[in-house]
């Protein structure tokens, strides 16, 4: 039986009720599993399900073979597409990841991950939906696959590199891992067509290839791709030139300040960004059996001329976009969209090693491992959504994400740990205050990083909050 009295259960019902499991009882089991995962996210089944009956039911569901990841993802993508249709448009950040999993005797159907082939696991391309102001709304799709075993190394490093490049040139897109990126674009566009949602795809340098640029154009949705090399373009006389040379010869067409978050090898700062742009025609290089093709896009260069700290690499982005840029305002919209691509990196961190810790998954087959990882991916998006709502819409009432019992329990718990100077009223807290209080329950002090709460302290706080909310709910049900 489903318990929809909690916000986690209501979320799970909304997210997974459309899953075609082939049996209503399996759908109920899926929703209950997602509820528990939202309440106690963890990679290990034993850390999510404390009761023997629930834990065994989860193992039976995952290992039965009746439901695979694509079935669950279809339902998740439809929910995301409906949320996207409520926006004027939705950004879609697409990026790949490796999930490293335990497989000591190589019996689980995993493949090599990384460059050396010692680690085992699965590969995945994620398409994360974001609202027009950058708050996660859900996953449009995930594309899972396992790599074939790496060939034995023979010859010198230089000879191996030459063989790899030659093989890459001779293979068609359908034979390369590019096909998984193409499928992610196709799946996201298909979900959007069901609801009429308008999308703006955001991809990094891996997507700067003929097959993906043409696929993005075919969707009739907008796209921005970061350039990875100095592409050949047609000049006004039909002769060949290069895009960077064209942009280098132009004076900056505008400048503004961009808030840059801190990260590995990157200092948080307000960067001064100079911008140049030009409408260009890319001459798409021939691939095996394919003619040369022309593609008209806007080439935009955004670079940091003076504000980069010593010893760090300044921001310098070459972006190819379908969006027509006529002013600095248009250029800033393109750049803003591209900066949201970082959201998927935060999602990967929360999902893989952060709050959800999916790489601790110890299930016994590739199929069961990816189904569980897919459920946890939905939970990771939910955690990221809570984190970012508190930053982008801080004055929104906490009831947008928490149920009345969770809010009441949070107020009571906050009063127990408040500072002497703090006063905690009975009124509805904002999502900003509620998220901060939850993170404080999870050990957040703000002293180590000085930044806003992250996904791990939010997860820990939710683990403390939900038993208290459950107790209040039970007392209320018993009239106490």
Q: Mark which of 326, 351, 381 sits at the end of a domain.
A: 381
Domain assignment of residue 344, yes or no: no
* Structure-model confidence comparison of residues 293 and 30, the more confident one: 30
Tell me the pLDDT tens digit for each residue of 136-180: 999 999 999 999 886 665 666 676 566 556 555 556 667 789 999
- CATH number of the CATH domain containing 412: 1.10.740.10
pLDDT, position 390: 86
Instruction: Decide if 161 is inside a domain.
Output: no
Note whether 368 and 413 are same-domain residues: no
- The 3-state secondary structure of 201-228 reads EEECHHHCCHHHHHHHHHCCCEEEEECC
Residue that finishes a domain, picked among 381, 409, 426: 381
Q: Assign residue 53 the CATH number of its domain.
A: 1.10.246.40
Cα 333 to chain centroid distance, Å, stands at 20
pLDDT value of residue 238: 66
Question: Residues in the chain, how many?
Answer: 480
Looking at residue 264, its pLDDT comes to 74
> What is the per-residue pLDDT for 1?
39
Domain boundary among 332, 349, 381: 381
Whether 185 and 150 have beta carbons less than 8 Å apart is answered as no
Question: Residue 86 corresponds to which tokens in the numbers above?
Answer: 């409520």
**Do 473 and 397 reside in the same domain of the chain?**
yes
- More confidently predicted of 210 and 454: 210
* Backbone dihedral angles phi then psi of residue 51, each to the nearest 5 degrees: -80, 140
pLDDT for 451 equals 74
Q: What is the pLDDT of residue 136?
A: 96
User: Would you say residue 253 lies in a domain?
Assistant: no
| Integer CA distances (angstroms), 92 to 129, 218, 263, 373, 379, in order | 5, 16, 22, 20, 18
Measured from the Cβ of residue 160, the count of other Cβ atoms closer than 10 Å reads 13
Compute the average pLDDT of residues 368-395. 93
Mean pLDDT for all residues in the chain: 90
- Say if residues 192 and 198 touch (Cβ distance below 8 Å): yes
Structural contact between residues 455 and 357, judged by C-beta atoms closer than 8 angstroms: no
pLDDT band at 392 (very low <50, low <70, confident <90, very high): confident
* Cβ within 8 Å of residue 364, ≥6 positions away: 63, 108
Q: What's the pLDDT at 2?
A: 42
Structural domain contains residue 248:
no
pLDDT band at 114 (very low <50, low <70, confident <90, very high): confident
In a domain, 44, yes or no: yes
What is the domain count for the chain?
2
Classified as helix, coil or strand, 341 is coil
Assess whether 441 and 376 both reside in one domain: no
For 14-24, what is each residue's pLDDT tens digit?
Answer: 999 999 999 99
**35 within some domain:** yes
Q: Looking at the structure, do residues 397 and 372 belong to the same domain, yes or no? A: no
Region 110-134: mean pLDDT is 90
418 shares its domain with 377: no
- Helix (H) and strand (E) counts in the chain: 15, 12
What is the per-residue pLDDT for 284?
85
Q: Which pLDDT does position 163 carry in this prediction? A: 58
Q: Counting Cβ atoms within 10 Å, is residue 302 exposed (0-12), middle (13-18) or buried (19+)?
A: buried
Cβ contacts of 65 within 8 Å, gap of 6 or more: 367
Euclidean distance between CA atoms 224 and 324, whole angstroms: 11
C-alpha 123/C-alpha 329 separation (Å) is 38
User: CA 47, 49, 51, 56 torsion: positive or negative?
Assistant: negative
Q: What is the span of the domain harbouring residue 471? A: 393-477
118 has pLDDT over 90: no
374 plus 410 within the same structural domain: no
pLDDT in tens, 171-219: 666 778 999 999 999 999 999 999 999 999 999 999 999 999 999 999 9
Backbone torsions φ then ψ of 92, nearest 5 degrees:
-130, 110
Residue 440 belongs to a domain: yes
Per-residue pLDDT at 155: 65
Beta strand extents in 131-215 (DSSP E only): 136-145, 199-203
Indicate the pTM of the whole model: 0.89
- 432 belongs to a structural domain: yes
Whether 433 and 453 map to the same domain: the answer is yes
Model pLDDT for residues 36-91, shown as the tens digit of each residue: 999 899 999 999 998 999 999 999 999 999 999 999 999 999 999 999 999 999 99
- Two structure tokens written together for 120: 């085992």
Same domain? For 452 and 408 the reply is: yes
């Amino acid at each position: 039986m489903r318990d929809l009295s909690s916000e986690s259960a209501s979320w799970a019902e909304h997210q997974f009720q459309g899953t075609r499991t082939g049996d209503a009882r399996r759908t109920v089991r899926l929703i209950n599993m997602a509820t528990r995962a939202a309440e106690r996210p963890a990679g290990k089944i034993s850390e999510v399900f404390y009761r023997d009956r629930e834990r065994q039911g989860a193992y039976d569901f995952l290992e039965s073979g009746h439901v695979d990841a694509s079935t669950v993802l279809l339902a998740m993508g439809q929910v995301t597409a409906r949320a996207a249709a409520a926006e004027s448009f939705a950004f879609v950040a697409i990026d790949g990841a490796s999930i490293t999993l335990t497989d000591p005797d190589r019996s689980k159907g995993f493949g090599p991950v990384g460059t050396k082939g010692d680690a085992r696991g699965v590969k995945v391309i994620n398409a994360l939906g974001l609202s027009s102001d950058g708050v996660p709304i859900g996953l449009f799709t995930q594309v899972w696959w396992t790599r074939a075993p790496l060939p034995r190394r023979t010859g010198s490093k230089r000879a191996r590199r030459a063989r790899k490049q030659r093989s890459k040139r001779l293979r068609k897109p359908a034979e390369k891992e590019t096909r998984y990126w193409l499928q992610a674009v196709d799946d996201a566009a298909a979900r959007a067509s069901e609801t009429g949602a308008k999308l703006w795809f955001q991809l990094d340098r891996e997507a700067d290839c003929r097959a993906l640029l043409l696929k993005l154009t075919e969707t009739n949705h907008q796209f921005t791709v970061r350039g990875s090399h100095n592409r050949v373009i047609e000049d006004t006389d039909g002769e060949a030139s290069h895009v960077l040379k064209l942009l280098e010869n132009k004076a900056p067409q505008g400048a503004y300040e961009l808030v840059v978050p801190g990260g590995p090898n990157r200092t948080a700062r307000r960067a001064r960004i100079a911008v140049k742009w030009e409408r260009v025609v890319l001459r798409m290089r021939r691939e095996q059996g394919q003619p040369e093709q022309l593609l008209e896009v806007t080439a935009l260069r955004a670079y940091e001329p003076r504000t980069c700290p010593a010893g760090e690499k300044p921001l310098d982005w070459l972006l190819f976009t379908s969006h027509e840029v006529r002013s600095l305002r248009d250029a800033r919209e393109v750049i803003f969209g591209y900066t949201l691509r970082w959201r998927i990196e935060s999602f990967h961190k929360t999902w893989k090693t952060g709050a959800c810790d999916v790489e601790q998954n110890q299930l016994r087959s590739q199929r069961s491992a990816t189904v569980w990882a897919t459920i946890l991916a939905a939970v990771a998006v939910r955690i990221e959504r809570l984190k970012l709502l508190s930053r982008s819409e801080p004055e929104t009432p906490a009831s947008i994400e928490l149920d009345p019992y969770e809010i009441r329990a949070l107020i009571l718990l906050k009063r127990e740990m408040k500072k002497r100077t703090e006063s905690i009223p009975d009124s509805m807290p904002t999502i900003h205050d509620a998220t901060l209080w939850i993170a404080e329950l999870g050990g957040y002090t703000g002293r180590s990083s000085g930044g806003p709460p992250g996904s791990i302290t939010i997860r820990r706080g939710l683990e403390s909050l939900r038993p208290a909310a459950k107790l209040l709910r039970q007392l209320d049900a018993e009239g106490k």
